[in-house]
Structure 1
Amino acid sequence: MTTTDSTPKPAPEPTPTPPPAQTEPVKSARALARARKRHSLARFWREYRKHRGGMWGLGCLVLIAVIALAAPQLVGADSQNVTTAPGGALESPSGEFPLGTDQFGRSVLALLVWGARVSLTVGLLAAFLCVAIGTIVGIVAGHFRGWYSTVLMRITDWFLVMPTLVLAIALATVMDRSLWTIIIAIGVTTWPTTARLVRAQTLAVESRPYIERARALGGGHGHVMIRHVLPNVMPLVLAQTTLVISSAILTEATLAFLGLGDPTITSWGSMLQDARAAGAVSAGDWWYLAPPGIAIALVALAFTLCGRAIESVLNPKLGVAR
């Protein structure tokens, strides 16, 4: 007779639940940071659109930038060539040449389009160099006290009291005549104002309590300057950049007008210098003088309007008129 074992079998042990992956909190934190950035940008754009002057300046800059990028397709790559000039010397505006021709028979409108490329490039790169130097000097001078700040500020004061144009002319004279010479000459002579502004903002930021907590938790100089001070001074730096670009474009035009630019490159300043050399002032050839001058003034005004609008959005206490 077969007997059946009625002893109950032990229940299987439950499978342990694996711990959550370590990447989930990181991903959620990154997604939250991206969402905050998108929200901040959307809020900035909503406030910026309320400034009609800023919108006009932005639209003007976008239009000029598109024209400059599409210059080869709009006017052709040979429009700057002297040997293949299609018109006569200093022809008045006509249906074929809406803005007339220069002393070599080239279309002034085509030169104006090509000059936008050089002027915008010089303005952007020189402003970037100027703001980079000024931001570094300002943060370091504001963070480190004592003789570090004293030496940096005395150097800044020396550059600040010296005429910027005179220093730029001196640098452009001793260096090779090229586009990079103009960029370097403008960048290394126009940074003191940015350094002063950034230093003042750095002193205000480092007086806040969270900076003291960061230092108490072991944050070094680099951590405090890069992770805490720099993000808080970036709005000021961004607004200052738009204002510096217009100044850089005017300085480039002045240096090119004085004959210190690259003679093989067409810019709005070089067009004015060529018009002066060709006697357009005494001859009354306004179509050769007016377009580059108006273009320089228009771009400088557009950048200034954008800078004022950005400054008003980032710091509403200034009360800039809309």
Structure 2
Amino acid sequence: MSTPVDPNSEKHHRTEPAIDGSPPVTAVSARRLARRRRGEALRRFARDYARNRAGIFGLASLLTIGLLALTAPLFIDQAHLTITGAPGESYQPPSWQYPLGTDNFGRSVLDLVIWGARVSLTVGLLATFVSVTLGTLVGVTAGHFGSSGGLGGRIVSTVLMRITDWFLVLPTLVLAVALAAVLPRGTGTIIIAIGLTVWPPTARLVRAQTLAVEARPYVERARALGGGHAHVMGWHVLPNVMPVVLAQTTLLVATSIIAESTLAFLGMGDPTTISWGGILEAARTAGAISAGIWWYMIPPGLAIAVVALSFTLCGRAVESVINPRLRGQS
């Protein structure tokens, strides 16, 4: 007597005709089906994102600036960026030879801005990575143990959130300046100072999303079948909060770049590296503001504004694609 076959069982296989006329083949495995679904989700995400004109503009701007930053060593002589190797005269106005003029040492401001994008973008991306990683870890841990960890878990969740609230009430810029002043001066210090100060909003956002995910039936089933804390957080909670983390990441990059420029403008950055904030700080120190040398101050400021706006537009576009409530509003 044959046993009935459950059509929803993973062991059940159905046949599909091949496109090229060859004999039918067995249906795809569970892993291949999962990869197919992920591919369809990515294509659907790209299609929905492409409908957002502001997001496309922001992405195109970022790709252009990123390409210029990556290829800068191919068309910029690093010797011309040094004080002793500058080929031009000081404070030359914009011309065909120097489209954005020269600084007080005779260096091309256009070359400085393009080269400074390398440091500013690197610091912004790495600081965002530190911030998002820390915020996601704290948010997922606090949300998970706060909802299913018993008395001890609730204590852990409360302690983590009180630490988060403490960082929230502190002025971010003041705390970053204090950290940059205490630690050795350098690009790594700027990354750590920014990453350790802008993570609390991510932690609170991820915690709220974690609490929503923890209340879903499949998480309760996984917990009832013996899934531990690491299994639930790693296999069920984290994949479902990643869309929110992605949207938050695109928004935090702009904040990190502005913070890096601010710290460099205040003299907390590495004086041996060229960044947009460092260019502004050098222009202020050289007296370009009082002398009316506008071509020394405006280009790096516009670069900061364009990159920050582009990341913000990309973040809003990603958020509108992920959140169905926001679709059609951008």
- Taking structure 2 as the reference length, the TM-score comes to 0.89
The answer as to 2:293 corresponding to 1:285 is yes
The answer for the alignment partner of 1:316 in structure 2 is 324
The answer for the alignment partner of 1:109 in structure 2 is 110
Contact 1:309 1:320 in 2 (8 A): no
The answer as to 2:271 corresponding to 1:270 is no
Q: 1:152-301 alignment to 2 at 5 Å?
A: 152-301=160-309
Distance 1:320 1:289, change over 3 A: farther
1:61 and 1:240 map into 2 onto residues whose CA distance is: 17
Instruction: Give the Å deviation of 1:31.
Output: 1.7
1:245 and 1:47 map into 2 onto residues whose CA distance is: 22
Instruction: Give the Å deviation of 1:75.
Output: 1.7
2:87 and 2:229 map into 1 onto residues whose CA distance is: 62
Contact 2:93 2:102 in 1 (8 A): yes
Query: In structure 2, what residue type is equivalent to 1:58?
Result: L
2:259 and 2:204 map into 1 onto residues whose CA distance is: 21
Return 5+ residue gaps in structure 2 as ranges: 1-24, 147-153
Percent identity over the alignment is 64
User: How many aligned positions are there?
Assistant: 299
Contact 1:79 1:111 in 2 (8 A): no
SS at match of 1:46: helix
Query: In structure 1, what residue type is equivalent to 2:259?
Result: T
The answer as to 2:66 corresponding to 1:65 is yes
Contact 2:321 2:327 in 1 (8 A): no
1:141 and 1:40 map into 2 onto residues whose CA distance is: 29
Distance 1:320 1:261, change over 3 A: farther
Deviates more, 1:83-92 or 1:222-231: 83-92
The answer as to 2:27 corresponding to 1:51 is no
2:126 and 2:190 map into 1 onto residues whose CA distance is: 10
2:133 and 2:126 map into 1 onto residues whose CA distance is: 10
2:26 and 2:106 map into 1 onto residues whose CA distance is: 67
Query: In structure 2, what residue type is equivalent to 1:268?
Result: W
Return 5+ residue gaps in structure 1 as ranges: 1-23
RMSD: 1.4
1:264 and 1:184 map into 2 onto residues whose CA distance is: 18
Distance 1:25 1:232, change over 3 A: farther
1:225 and 1:25 map into 2 onto residues whose CA distance is: 34
Deviates more, 1:284-293 or 1:26-35: 26-35
1:42 and 1:191 map into 2 onto residues whose CA distance is: 30
SS at match of 1:125: helix
Contact 1:308 1:320 in 2 (8 A): no
- Taking structure 1 as the reference length, the TM-score comes to 0.91
The answer for the alignment partner of 2:119 in structure 1 is 118
Contact 2:55 2:317 in 1 (8 A): yes
Q: Deviations over 1:212-243 (max 9, x none)?
A: 10011110000000000000000000000000
1:297 and 1:39 map into 2 onto residues whose CA distance is: 35
List structure 1 segments (4+ residues) > 4 angstroms apart after TM superposition: 24-27
- Greater C-alpha radius of gyration: 1
The answer for the alignment partner of 1:42 in structure 2 is 43
